[in-house]
Amino acid sequence: MKTFNYHSTKDVKEATKLASSSSAFLAGGMTTLPSMKLGLASYKDIIDIKRIKKLSGIKVSGKTVTIGATTKHAEVAHSKEVKKAIPSLAALAEGIGDPQVRNRGTIGGSIANNDPSADYPSACIALNATIHTNNRKVSADKFFTGMFETSLKKGELIEAVEFQVPEKSCYKKYPNPASRYAIVGVYVAKHKSAVNVAVTGAKSCVYNDQNISGALSKSFSSSALDNVKISSSGMNSDVHASADYRANMVKIFAKKAVEAC
Amino acid sequence: MKKVNLEVNGKKVSKEVADHTVLSVFLREVLNLTGTHVGCDTSQCGACVVHVDGKSIKSCTALAADLDGSKVTTIEGLVKNGKMHPMQEAFKKEHGLQCGFCTPGMVMSAIDLLNHKKNPSDKEIRDWLEGNICRCTGYQNIVAAVKEAATKM
């Protein structure tokens, strides 16, 4: 790993003031540090945000669950409040990586990285999340813009993620057996007005599958998906799964999720 | 350079290290605690698992500077009054190791599991050890060792 200057910061202002075109914010470091070791990324300044108290914690109101950016996956997975309000979100957190990753990795880090196979971005899309940054609020459908890309500007810091509590929801994924990243993951959330179905792992970026969402909004049952065609166009094809296989898995895991709701 | 203050296996240590020093390097090369092993060095294999403030983490993927003020327990910190930890005894009794490279990480990870869950099922043990890889394929006896330790802890 190339050398850098490490800064531990105590408030958001201090952290964002230090940010530059050659810096990175550090939360759990579960992607940042391995990427730096592999030479895929290098920074002059690493700005640690874990000691900023306001960035950590879980708040549940009747209609929303708000999770601070540096809240660890294990905290979300074990939170009684999250389990009660949105059980599928706690279950998603419990399925990320392994126990040691869950003890360090954070929700803010996961969505800022926007790995095409990460779990949390699908929760953001399905649960109509609002991403709170240090200077604005962005809806999830405008936040994830492409492979490892988000609408975050340089030096902009995620403070919290606010999820809408659905009537019912479920996340089902087909995990890579080694990494537990989603080969395909489908998050189904039934809201009062419509059903959202977010798919991760299948394409270069998480997306809301309008065909599946539309069919389930009309009739919330797995049989409603029998005649929905899933195109493999634009789907990832790699050593783990072909595009056609992924397209098939999207439908199968959407059905599984609906049945488990 | 950063000054890092830690409590490692009950002893306070204070060392000045380069900013990019990860905990596994700090333990092995600065404190000469070579019981913590480094396999993949990219947080996949789990050979480097230690406890920080009571929770298991992969020490290859945490900066020493970031953990300033924490309490760290490594495999060397488990022996009390010359007696092995029940988990170490169980690994010995059940032949839960072959070459032994993954063992420090397996033991530290398994102790964290039993701290959370007193009598885990086989599935819970296997799920928990997701992040610990044994290349000798010794999983059967590792699971048996964790179950044995659960009766003693």
Report chain B residues whose CB lies below 8 A from the CB of A180: 130
Do the chains contact at B130 and A2, CB–CB below 8 Å?
no
d(CA A29, CA A88): 25
- Min Cα distance A108 → chain B (Å) is 17
Does 1.10.150.120 match the CATH number of domain B86-150?
Answer: yes
- For domain B2-75, the CATH architecture is Roll (3.10)
Q: Is the sign of the CA dihedral A12, A15, A21, A25 positive or negative?
A: negative
Nearby residues of A35 by Cβ (< 8 Å), 6 or more positions away? A41
CA distances A155 to A124, A149, B62, Å, are 22, 14, 22
B2 touches chain A (CB under 8 A): yes
Whether residue B63 and residue A33 make contact (CB cut-off 8 A), yes or no, is: yes
Q: Is B39 on the interface with A (CB under 8 A)?
A: no
Position A178 scores a pLDDT of: 85
Domains of chain A, residue spans:
5-164, 168-260
The answer to whether domain B2-75 and domain B86-150 are alike in fold is: no
pLDDT at B2: 96
Fold held by A5-164: 3.30.465
Give the pLDDT score at B137.
79
Question: Taking the domains of chain B in order of start, what are their residue ranges?
Answer: 2-75, 86-150
Which residues of A lie inside 8 Å of B (Cβ-Cβ)?
1-6, 8, 26, 29-30, 33-34, 36-38, 46, 48, 50, 74, 97-101, 103-104, 178-180
Q: What parts of chain B have a pLDDT lower than 70?
A: none
Residue A198, beta-bridge partner list:
A187, A208
Nearest-CA distance B153 → chain A (Å): 20
What tens-digit pLDDT sequence spans chain A (261 residues)?
999 999 999 999 999 999 999 999 999 999 999 999 999 999 999 999 999 999 999 999 989 999 999 999 999 999 999 999 999 999 999 999 999 999 999 999 999 999 999 999 999 999 999 999 999 999 999 999 999 999 999 999 999 999 999 999 999 999 998 888 999 999 999 999 999 999 999 999 999 999 999 999 999 999 999 999 999 999 999 999 999 999 999 999 999 999 999
Q: How many CA atoms lie within 13 A of B34 on its CB side?
A: 2
**What CATH architecture does domain A168-260 belong to?**
2-Layer Sandwich (3.30)
A79's CB contacts (< 8 A; 6+ apart) are A58, A90
* Interface with chain B: mutation pick from A98, A101, A106, highest number of B CBs within 10 Å: A98
Cα–Cα distance measured from residue B128 to residue B107, given in angstroms and rounded to the nearest whole number:
12
CB contacts, 8 Å: A91 with chain B: none
Tell me if B130 and A1 make a contact (CB, 8 A cut-off). no
Q: Give the nearest chain A residue to B56 (CA atoms).
A: A100
Task: Give me the pLDDT at residue B90, please.
Answer: 98
The pLDDT assigned to A114 comes to: 98
Taken in order A81, A83, A88, A91, the sign of the CA dihedral is positive
Q: How far apart are CA A132 and CA A138, in angstroms?
A: 7
8 Å CB contact between B62 and A104 = yes
B108 at A interface, C-beta within 8 A: no
Give pLDDT, residue A62.
86
Rounded Cα–Cα distance for residues B25 and A1 (Å): 12
User: How confident is the model at residue A176, as a pLDDT?
Assistant: 92
Give chain B positions within 8 Å (CB) of A6.
2, 19-20, 63, 65-66
Cβ distance B19 to A2 less than 8 Å, yes or no, reads no
